[in-house]
Amino acid sequence: METVTGAVTHDPPHAAGGRQGRPLIVTEDAVLLDDLLRLCAAAGATPEVHHSVPVQRGGWESAPLVLVGDDAARRVRGAARRRGVVLVGRDQDDSGVWRRAVEIGADHVLVLPDGEQWLVDRIADVAEGVGRPALTVGVVGGRGGAGASTLACALAVTSAREGLRTLLVDADPLGGGLDVLLGGETVEGLRWPAFAASRGRVGGGALEESLPELHQLRVLSWDRGDCVTIPPQAVRAVLAAARRRGGTVVVDLPRRIDDGIAEILAQLDVGLLVVPAELRAVAAAGRVASAVGMVLRDLRVAVRGPYAPGLDDREVARLLGLPLVGEVPVESGLLRPDGGKAPPGASARAPLARFCKEFWERSLAEAGTA
């Protein structure tokens, strides 16, 4: 149990399948209730309100989040212990609140008004029906022209074809735009500059609906205007919103690491380093791997032929000291992406699409989502 400034002990139970749930408020304090209702409205949630533990069977146990006013702590003391209980009070100097929180099995003690933003975020998660976060994969080239952007697109296209909610994120403002590579630069929807002013929580559903839809997936790319710097907190908020929607998120990463990219790396589940099988590319990839590996724990190598004499995919992985994902099939779209009629990975029977499908099958199984 911690205050809102400490670590979260554990998350509240999610509704089955990520469906929406209604938070439960237990209090007789009219002023506190007004504040909690206001915060619920700000988060887009409609709560249930009771003066004590609900009489109906399962009301206490099934609520995804329970907000207990400090005035009601004594009345809920005998309720079944469960996760996702927050004791809410107003008195910063009341040391007895900790004892009451222990008595009711609360995860957190929250004191208003200081904890309002934290509580709005937590309630909004409930309103969105947060389930298992998206499997988030970053793709970065070991050197320029390695084919990372095309592989990122192929992974996203394959994921969408397999029926998964999929978001493709272009994290390289100097890369020309993944929407161009997918043939959708004129499709309506928001691009990165629209999120430059984001500071707090970004709604996952609103994010998804605002982005261009191409080939059954959503794409967050760059426009063709002047380069805009996206603050790290905005990058963090946007990617966190994308992950809350579940499915898969694929991020095309630049080789340079700045504060914004570090925010993305911190949220990745796995990274793929695409390396052409030549000695200079391996040497360059080693420097990229060193920088990325400072933040990302699970970095793997995907090798692209043709092979220089004395090299194969296993030798490249050994030289880099990274786990081997496999050999990325050589296709014309991988080497010379032209944003043509068919995006990378569009042909399910082609070698690149088969490589991507096998990658998702293994990765989803490892994550326990298959």
Residue 112: CB atoms within 10 A of its CB come to 16
Handedness of CA 151, 153, 158, 164 (dihedral sign): positive
Tell which wins on pLDDT, 1 or 104: 104
- Report pLDDT for 122: 83
**If we measure between CA atoms, which residue out of 98, 109, 97, 106 comes closest to residue 79?**
106
- Report pLDDT for 95: 83
40: its two tokens: 């619920």
- Report pLDDT for 170: 96
For residue 170, list its beta bridge partners: 252
Largest CA distance in the chain: 77
Give me the numbers of helices (H) and strands (E) for the chain, helices first please. Answer: 13, 14
Give the CA-trace dihedral at 179, 185, 187, 193, to 10 degrees.
Answer: 80
Q: How far apart are CA 30 and CA 249, in angstroms?
A: 43
| 132 pLDDT higher than 90 | no
- Report pLDDT for 332: 62
Task: Return all residues near 16 (Cβ < 8 A) that are at least 6 apart.
Answer: none
Residue 359: CB atoms within 10 A of its CB come to 23
For 321-343, the pLDDT digits (tens) are: 999 999 999 876 444 444 456 88
For 350-369, the pLDDT digits (tens) are: 999 999 999 999 999 998 76
For 147-161, the pLDDT digits (tens) are: 999 999 999 999 999
Backbone φ/ψ region at 189: left (φ over 0), alpha (ψ -120 to 50), beta = left
